[in-house]
Amino acid sequence: MTHRLLFLGPPGAGKGTQAQKLAESQQLLHLSTGDLLRAEVQAGSALGQEAEAVMARGELVSDNLVLAIVRGRLVAHGGGWLLDGFPRNLAQAEALDQLLAELNQPLQKVLLLELADDELVERLLARGRADDNEAVIRHRLEVYRQQTAPLISYYEARGQLKRLPSYGSVEAVAAQVQLALA
């Protein structure tokens, strides 16, 4: 079966971790806007230079930048896909709806990974990426609550949302993900 899926959840909930596993096992295109932005920063492109300071502050990069990245990848791809870290606000969700209607590739499911703040902070501090210090993490959580969390009811109203507790080992969470797709 072709999967067209989206992972939603606060920073550190394990979206990237689970998306990578699932994309490998189901042979899906894994589109992580965070990874794609970090690759642009690494390459020192104009886009990367624009994104770098915004990401270091824990804020969201501009919708137009992110949309251009996602559009290019989805248009060039024919099979199943998994979006990780996108959309992150209502404007991005609406733009995604438009793009998917244009491509005639409707979204099938949204998997929401849920975890308590203290555990999120602990996981991110252990990861130790450039934007993983406590003050920036707390700000990212605030940005998530204000801008991304409204997407939960957006997708819930369409009957597309599956809530998954993200406690326990990576394997235990992966088993929940498999169950949600069955």
- Residues making contact with ligand B4P (CB under 6 A): 9, 11-17, 33-34, 37, 54-55, 58-61, 66, 85-86, 88, 92, 123-124, 127, 140, 169-170, 173
Closest approach of ligand B4P to the CB of residue 134, in Å: 14
Closest approach of ligand B4P to the CB of residue 17, in Å: 4
Closest to ligand B4P by CB, 1 or 9: 9
Q: Which residue reads 């995604």 in tokens? A: 96
**Burial of 104 per CB tally in 10 Å (0-12, 13-18, 19+):** exposed
Closest to ligand B4P by CB, 2 or 179: 179
Q: How far apart are CA 131 and CA 88, in angstroms?
A: 17
| Paired residues of 110 in beta bridges | 6, 161
Q: At 119, which helix (H) or strand (E)?
A: helix 117-127
**Which one, of 166, 159, 80, lies nearest residue 122 by Cα?**
166
Closest to ligand B4P by CB, 4 or 113: 113
Closest to ligand B4P by CB, 4 or 88: 88
- What DSSP letter does each residue of 61-116 carry, written as one string? PPHHHHHHHHHHHHHT--S-EEEES---SHHHHHHHHHHHHHHT----EEEEEE--
Closest approach of ligand B4P to the CB of residue 143, in Å: 7
Closest to ligand B4P by CB, 27 or 169: 169
Closest approach of ligand B4P to the CB of residue 19, in Å: 7
Tell me the backbone φ, ψ of residue 170, rounded to 5 degrees.
-55, -40
